[in-house]
Amino acid sequence: MATFLTLPVELIADVLSELDLDSLITISYLSRRLHDIVSDPSLNPWRKPILRSLRSGQEGESSGSLKHLSVRRIVPRHNWIEILSLASPSFILLDATLPNLSSEEWEECFNRRFLPGWRKWHKDGSWKATYLEVLHRVYHRSRTSCTTDESWTKYIVLNRNGTANELEGSSRNFNPLAIFNEMKLQNNLMHLETRIRLVVQLADVRIIALGTLNRPRSTLTVNPNAHTFLHPPGIDDLQTLRNNRVVTDHGVYPLGPDTADYPGVSPPSIDFSKMTHPLPASSHHDYPWYTPGGGDKRWLGSGEVEEEGLKWVGGLMIIAQIVTPKTLELGGDWPPLQDLDLVVGPGRNQYASLVWNDLWAIAPWMEERITNKIDGPGLGI
C-alpha cells in the first residue's frame, strides 16, 4: 500500500476507477491521501464504476451504494448529472436519495435525458420540479395505457420529394403500422413489406423509422432523405480515411473516433460528434457513429444501397416509442431489434410526440436537406 500511494495521483485514480462502488467507498477511507484523491473532481475515479452500474441495468439491485451516493461528500456532485440522465425512472423516483443540485444542473439533467420537444412541460416552476414531473409522466405511461397527458401524438414523415410533414394522430388509438399502411396505400406501395429500423435509444424513448425497400426501375420513387437519415452523409467516407471500421455478419460499419475534430474532411455544416443532448442509452452510446454490441441495427447494408441491393422508396415515418420494462423482450418469432419486433408485442404500444426540434437533435444533418417543413398534411406552399 505504501508503494502504491507514492504513484502519481492520476495513475492512482485510474486504478481506483476499475473498482466497484462498494470497494471504492471502502478504500476511500483507508488513508487521507486516498480520501483526497477520490474527492478531487478533476480526477473523479467515480465515473467509471457509476457508468458500469448504470449500463448493467441493475442500479437498484446493488448494495445500495449508488442509491445513497448523494449523502457522501467525497463524491463530486457532477456525477449525478450522468446518473439522472441515464438511470431508470423507477430507480430515480423510488430508490435514490436525490442530491442538492443547482437550477442550472437540473436543467442540464433535463436536456441530457429528454427530447427537446419535452421542454414544453416547463412552465413557471423550477427545473427540478419539471424534471421530476416529466419523469413521473414517463414512469406512469410506461406501465399503463393512459394517454391523458398527451391526447395527440405527433410524428414526422420524410417525403421522397425532399419535403417533410409533422403530423399527428389520436394517442388513444395510435398504431404506427396502421398509419404507415395507409401511407403505402396512398402511394401504391402496398405490395412492399414494411421495414422498421431502430435509429437510436434514449433513457426513456427509442426513435423508430418505418419505410419500404425496393429495387426501383427509376429514381422517381427513391427517397434519398430516408437513406440520409439512417446513413449520415459522408460518415462512411470520413471513416474510410481513418481506416476504423467494424465488420459484423450484417456488413461493415464506421466506428466513431474519440474526438469530434475532423479538419479538412467533414463539411463545416455537418457535425458528427457524439450526441449528448439528449444522451443515448448504452446500446447506442457512440451515435451517430456505429455502436458495437448488437443493439445498433440501423445499417443492414453499406454505401447507397441497403440489404440485398434495395433502396428506400416512398415516405419514411419517424416515431418516438416509450421504453417500458418489457420493451427489450422478444415480441415474436422474428429477428430482434428490427422490423416487427420493434412495434409488435408486449411493451410496444405507448408512444410520445416527436417534433421538429427533436429531429434536429437526433439528426442535425437533416435540417439543411429537408426542402420544406410542413406542419400538418399537405404539400406545403
Phi–psi pair at 224, nearest 5 degrees: -65, -30
Long-range contacts, 71-76 (Cβ 8 Å, 24+): 71/97, 72/25, 73/39, 74/28, 74/35, 74/38, 74/39, 75/46, 76/39, 76/40, 76/41, 76/44, 76/46
CB–CB of 22/65 below 8 Å? yes
Q: What is the pLDDT of residues 232-245, one digit of tens each?
A: 877 755 444 444 54
This model's pTM is above 0.95: no
Residue pair 323/205 in contact by the 8 Å Cβ criterion: yes
Q: Looking at 59-63, 222-226, 354-358, which range is the least confident one?
A: 59-63
pLDDT-derived band at 265, boundaries 50, 70, 90: very low
Instruction: Give SS3 for 248.
Output: coil
With pLDDT > 70 as the criterion, what percentage of the chain qualifies? 84
pLDDT of residue 240: 46
Contact 298, 253 (CB under 8 A): no
- Give residue-wise pLDDT tens across range 15-67: 999 998 989 999 888 888 889 989 999 999 999 999 988 887 666 554 478 88
H helices then E strands: how many in the chain? Answer: 12, 9
